[in-house]
Structure 1
Amino acid sequence: MCEGDIQEIAKIPSPQSYRKMEKMPDANFYSKCVPIWWRQYRPQFFNCGDRNDVLATYFTLLSLHDSDRSNSYLSPEKVFAIVDLDIQSKQIDNYTFSDTEAIYHDLYFQSKVNRENSVKHRIWITELIHKEAYFLLPDLQTVFDRFHTSPMYDDTSLVLHRIYLAMSDSLVNDSDIKNNLKTVRCRIDHCSGLELLDTTTLQDSWKNQFQKAQNDERKDELIFILLTICKAKSYWYQIRPSDHWNYSHDVFRDQLLLEIGSFYSKQDADVRLHIPCFFNLLYRFA
C-alpha cells in the first residue's frame, strides 16, 4: 500500500474501481520500479490516499484478518505499507515502533538503508521527505536529458542543480522546518559542516558547503540532506514539457515518471538509493 490520490475511486466505489488503484500514477510508479530480474509473483501496489489513510488501511486489513482468520485469504507477512517521511512525525499505535520518526531512525543510518534492521519492518518510511524527492536525485539527470520531450524548469531545460539551489533558498522561510527544528537536527546532524542553530544558519552553511564541495560524493551527501528536509512536491510539479508537447502536463509527468521507475528497476540493491533495497527486501516474501 502506498500514498496516492483516490478521489476518483472514492466517488463510485466498486470492485472494478478498486482494481484500477494499482494502475494509478503513484502505484504505477512503484510497479515500474520492480527490478527487471523479478519475473514471477511480482508485488502489487495500491493507492490508499495520504499517509494517514495508508497507515489506517494497513492496520484495518490486519484487524479484519485477525477477526476471522478462517475466512481470510490475507497473508499478513506479505502486506507492506510505504509512506512519506514528511517533517512532522505521525504516531502509530499497536506497532513495534511508536511513530514514523522512530521507524525512520531504525531503518536508515546516515541517509543509507540499514540492511540488518530493514528485515523487521512492514511499514517503510521514505528516507527522503517525499516520494517526489526520489524523482529529483542527481542520478536521474541522464534520464531527463534523454527523455523524448525535453523537461523544462523555470523556462529552461531541466538541470537538477538549479532545483537544489532553489530548494536551499527556501530553507530560511520554511515554517515546517522552523517548527520542527529538533527533528531536523536529529536527521541531519551526521553531515559535517552544517550549522543547525536556526533556518538561517542551516541555509547559509548548506550553500557554503555545497559551493566548496570538492567532489560528487560530497555534493551527493549534501543533496540527500536537502531532500530529507525540504519539501519536494512543489518542485516536481514545476517540471513541465516544452512548448512542442501536445498533451496535458499531467500526462507528460506520468510518462516521465515511468521512465524514472524504469531507471530504478535496473539498479542494484544500493543502500544509497533506498528504493532498490526496498524491493530486495520484498523479494524475500515472494
Structure 2
Amino acid sequence: MSFTQKELKEHCQYILRQRRIKNKIVVLCEGQIPKNDGRPSPQSYGKMETMPDANFYKACVPKWWKQKLPEFFNCGDRQDVIDTYFALSELHAEDSTKSYLTPEKLFAIVDLDLQVKTIDNYNYTDTDAIFGNLYYKGKVNDKNAINHRIWVTGLIYKEAYFIAPEIQPIFDNYLSGTPIYNGNPIVLEKIYMDMVDGIGSDIALQENLQTASKRISYCAGLDCTGVDKLQDSWKTEFQNAQDETSKNQLIYALLTIKQVKEYWNQIQPSDDWVHPKTFRDQLSLEIGRFYSAQSSDTRYHIPVFLKTVYEEDCQQRGYDND
C-alpha cells in the first residue's frame, strides 16, 4: 500500500483523536484500511475496528485480560505500520493537546516475511535483528521480550498461525462443518506436504535462502544449501520423526520460511456454511480465541506478545501484573 506523507499524517491524526485510546495500550498491525472512492475517509475509518486483521489480534487477547483492553489499528503494509509507529510519537510530541495517545503504551507488530525490512532510528536495525533477539528455537525469548516495542511475528506471516498444527481440532470440530481443502475435509498435514512440494519453485525463498536458513538453523537435519536439498531433507526428517514434538518442530520451521497465504486462501467453507463471504474472517476469529488461552506458552507468539505488553504496562504503572 505505502502511504503518501499526506495520507500518513491523516492516518495518524485519526488515531490520535480517538478517545477510545485514552490510557490504553495501542497496537498497530498490518492490514487493509477501508476506503471510500479510493481513499481513506472519516466514514471508512469508522469501519476500521471491524477489519479482519485487527479483529484477529483482538481475538488473541488473553482471556484473563478483562479491563482496558488494547486498541488495534490496521495500518497498511509493513512499512506503513513502521512509519505510523514513529509518526504517531512525533505528532504527539508536537502537540499533545490534540492527542489521546500515551506514547509509552504504543506498540506495533508486523509480519516477519522473507524480505528483511530496515528500521531507522530504532534499537534494532531491521526486522531480522528483532527476530533474532525475540525468538529462540521457535519460541519467544521471554527474557528479551520486554525490550521490544516493535514486534515481528515468529512465523512468516500472520496467516501461518491459522494453520499451525494445534489448530487441526478447531477445523475438525467447527460448528458450521469442517472446512474444505482441495475438495476434502481439511487435514493440515496435507497442506504442509503441498507447501514442501512448492519449495523448489518458490522464487522468494530461493532469493532469500540464506536469511531463511539462519532462522531455522536449530533444525540440524535440514540441508539449506539449496531449495531442492531443503525440500528433500525436510521430507526425510519428517518421515523419520520419532514423535509429534519432532514433527511439529519441522512444521513450525516450514511455517517460518514458506509463504502460506495461497494455501490459507484455498481453504473453503463446507456446504453447510451460510455466509461464504465471511467464512475466513469468522474462522480466523475462532482461531484467535484458541490463542487467547495460550498466553503462558512461549510457543504461541501472539498471545505472549500481548501478555508482554500487558506486563510492561503494569510495571510502568507500578501495578502487580497478577
Q: TM-score higher than 0.5 here?
A: yes
In the alignment, the residues of structure 1 paired with residue 101 and residue 233 of structure 2 have an alpha-carbon distance, to the nearest angstrom, of 50
Classify 1:191/1:60 alpha carbon distance in 2 versus 1 (closer, same or farther; 3 Å).
Answer: same
In the alignment, the residues of structure 2 paired with residue 19 and residue 244 of structure 1 have an alpha-carbon distance, to the nearest angstrom, of 32
Contact 2:29 2:108 in 1 (8 A): yes
Identical amino acids, percent of aligned pairs: 53
Report the equivalent of 1:277. Answer: 304
- Among 113, 120, 123, the alignment partner of 2:150 is 123
Contact 1:9 1:18 in 2 (8 A): no
In the alignment, the residues of structure 1 paired with residue 33 and residue 139 of structure 2 have an alpha-carbon distance, to the nearest angstrom, of 31
- Figure out how many residues of one structure are paired with residues of the other and give that number: 285
Q: Secondary structure at the match of 2:151?
A: strand
How far apart are residue 60 of structure 1 and its match?
1.0
Is 1:59 matched with 2:86?
Answer: yes
Contact 1:135 1:257 in 2 (8 A): yes
Is 1:252 matched with 2:311?
Answer: no
Report the equivalent of 1:187. Answer: 215
Report the equivalent of 1:44. Answer: 71
Q: In structure 2, what residue type is equivalent to 1:2?
A: C
Q: In structure 1, what residue type is equivalent to 2:286?
A: E
- Among 120, 127, 135, the alignment partner of 1:93 is 120
In the alignment, the residues of structure 1 paired with residue 143 and residue 203 of structure 2 have an alpha-carbon distance, to the nearest angstrom, of 35
Contact 1:143 1:260 in 2 (8 A): yes
Q: Secondary structure at the match of 1:191?
A: coil
Is 1:5 matched with 2:32?
Answer: yes
Question: Per-residue displacement from partner, 1:206-246 (whole Å, max 9, x unpaired)?
Answer: 00000100101000100000000000111111100123333
Structure 2: runs of 5 or more not aligned: 1-27, 315-322
- Among 69, 72, 76, the alignment partner of 2:103 is 76
Report the equivalent of 2:25. Answer: none
Contact 2:59 2:288 in 1 (8 A): yes
Contact 1:150 1:241 in 2 (8 A): yes
How far apart are residue 22 of structure 1 and its match?
2.0
Contact 1:210 1:219 in 2 (8 A): yes
Q: Secondary structure at the match of 1:45?
A: strand
Question: Per-residue displacement from partner, 1:180-204 (whole Å, max 9, x unpaired)?
Answer: 1110121111111111110010000
In the alignment, the residues of structure 2 paired with residue 138 and residue 181 of structure 1 have an alpha-carbon distance, to the nearest angstrom, of 24
Contact 2:113 2:156 in 1 (8 A): yes
Classify 1:188/1:68 alpha carbon distance in 2 versus 1 (closer, same or farther; 3 Å).
Answer: same
In the alignment, the residues of structure 2 paired with residue 9 and residue 89 of structure 1 have an alpha-carbon distance, to the nearest angstrom, of 32
Contact 2:34 2:40 in 1 (8 A): no
Q: Secondary structure at the match of 1:81?
A: strand
In the alignment, the residues of structure 2 paired with residue 118 and residue 62 of structure 1 have an alpha-carbon distance, to the nearest angstrom, of 21
In the alignment, the residues of structure 2 paired with residue 226 and residue 10 of structure 1 have an alpha-carbon distance, to the nearest angstrom, of 40
Contact 1:81 1:122 in 2 (8 A): yes
Structure 1: runs of 5 or more not aligned: none
Of the structure 1 ranges 117-126 and 66-75, higher mean CA displacement relative to structure 2 is found in 66-75
Report the equivalent of 1:135. Answer: 162
- Among 45, 51, 54, the alignment partner of 1:27 is 54
Q: Secondary structure at the match of 2:154?
A: coil
CA RMSD of aligned residues (A): 1.5
In the alignment, the residues of structure 2 paired with residue 9 and residue 227 of structure 1 have an alpha-carbon distance, to the nearest angstrom, of 35
How far apart are residue 17 of structure 1 and its match?
2.9
Report the equivalent of 2:269. Answer: 241
Is 1:175 matched with 2:200?
Answer: no
Q: Secondary structure at the match of 2:268?
A: coil
In the alignment, the residues of structure 2 paired with residue 167 and residue 80 of structure 1 have an alpha-carbon distance, to the nearest angstrom, of 32
In the alignment, the residues of structure 1 paired with residue 99 and residue 232 of structure 2 have an alpha-carbon distance, to the nearest angstrom, of 55
Is 1:109 matched with 2:136?
Answer: yes
Contact 1:3 1:47 in 2 (8 A): yes
Runs of 4+, deviation exceeding 4 Å: none
Contact 2:146 2:309 in 1 (8 A): no
Of the structure 1 ranges 194-203 and 66-75, higher mean CA displacement relative to structure 2 is found in 66-75
Contact 1:87 1:176 in 2 (8 A): yes
TM-score with structure 1 length normalisation? Answer: 0.95
Report the equivalent of 2:17. Answer: none
Q: In structure 2, what residue type is equivalent to 1:186?
A: K
In the alignment, the residues of structure 2 paired with residue 110 and residue 153 of structure 1 have an alpha-carbon distance, to the nearest angstrom, of 30
Is 1:204 matched with 2:232?
Answer: yes
How far apart are residue 18 of structure 1 and its match?
2.0
How far apart are residue 268 of structure 1 and its match?
3.6
Contact 2:111 2:157 in 1 (8 A): yes
